[in-house]
Amino acid sequence: MAMPAAAPVTTIEQLLALPEDALRHELLDGVHVVTPAPELPHQALVRAFAVALLPALADRPDLELLWSPADVVLGARALVQPDLFVVRKAPGQVLRSWKEAGVPVLALEVLSPATAARDRGEKRRLYQRAGVAGYWIVDPDARLVERWRPEDVRPEVLSDDLVWVPAPGAAPVTIELTDLFAAVLGPVA
């Protein structure tokens, strides 16, 4: 006898009710997407970007750097798990739930073969629609970052220096991409 098919997951409530399974579950405009755990170079790049961003945020009580797994809600039918992200908060506020974190001001996704099309397509459009000020798509193969803003129809493609201003009037953060990629992935062959 065949097992009955599971009911489709189309709402955030259904997604959050799923049993824990060590996979990454997202809801992209009502479409349930599951991806396996990332490979080690992917996670090493996430760590390298976090290390590069942390000093700029050390004196910023209004911003917090976080990473997945996370349940970031971008709309009624959109829950994503960005690899790395920065959220705004009230100075002194201690975030206690993903709901309190709200929409990120910066989201970063490192491409992998399983996620590249979604990261560049549907997820990018979701981040833009939600008003995420900066969306960085890190391409390990090309050793570059595609930077998107809400109004962009094409990304700014960066392969040398990536400069980010965390908030108006804040000191800019400069990430030397050539050095970062070389440190994580090794020299270019």
Provide the H-helix boundaries in 19-83: 40-57
Q: DSSP string spanning 91-128?
A: TT----SHHHH-S-SEEEEE--TTTHHHHHTHHHHHHH
Instruction: Identify residue 136 by its one-letter amino acid code.
Output: W
> What is the dihedral sign for C-alpha 45, 51, 56, 62?
positive
Task: Kindly tell me the number of DSSP H helices and DSSP E strands found in the chain.
Answer: 6, 12
d(CA 172, CA 142): 25
Q: Which two tokens stand for residue 73?
A: 């809600």
User: What's the pLDDT score for residue 112?
Assistant: 92
Where are the chain's structural domains?
Answer: 39-185
pLDDT value for 102: 92
Domain 39-185 belongs in CATH node 3.40.50.300: no
Residue 167 confidence (pLDDT) = 84
Say what the pLDDT of residue 153 is: 96
Is residue 139 a contact partner of residue 111, using CB atoms and an 8 Å limit?
Answer: yes
Closest among 24, 121, 108 to 65, alpha carbons compared: 108
Q: What is the pLDDT of residue 1?
A: 43
Question: Which H or E run contains 59?
Answer: none
Please give the helix or strand (H or E) that residue 29 lies within, else none.
none
pLDDT 10s digit of each residue in the chain, 189 long?
Answer: 444 456 788 888 888 888 887 778 878 888 888 887 788 999 999 999 999 999 989 888 999 999 988 999 999 989 999 999 999 999 889 999 988 999 999 999 999 998 899 999 999 999 999 999 999 999 999 999 999 999 999 999 999 999 999 888 888 999 999 999 999 999 987
